[in-house]
Amino acid sequence: MKTLDEFKASLTNDLPAPGLSPALTALWYDGKGNWRKAHAEVDHISGPDAAWVHAYLHRKEGDLANAGYWYRQAGKQRPSVSLAEEWTELVNYFLRGQA
């Protein structure tokens, strides 16, 4: 999977594509509306990339204090863009990393 359109099209599937990174798997589940499963995919992973996804998920949840912590762990500022725009930015970022 190399493009945002392919990633979005895969959301009609029952399971994520094999070989997706944990970050993309989390974003896939989030795209399916399964916040809990998305969170479980990154909750046990360390590093700035996982922290960025974790931050986004807590921002989406409405827990801005927790999101702030995770944005700091990721070395990012909490964005002023919509959640949908941040999701797209994250997916594009991680798709580039999988190429």
Reported as a single tens digit per residue, the pLDDT across 58-84 is 999 999 999 999 999 999 999 999 999
Of the pLDDT bands very low, low, confident and very high (cuts 50, 70, 90), residue 98 is: low
DSSP string, 4-40: HHHHHHGGGSSSPPTT--HHHHHHHHHHTT-HHHHHH
On whether the CB atoms of residues 53 and 98 are closer than 8 A, the answer is: no
Q: What is the pLDDT of residue 2?
A: 86
Place of tokens 């930015």: 89
On whether the CB atoms of residues 94 and 79 are closer than 8 A, the answer is: no
pTM of the predicted protein model? 0.94
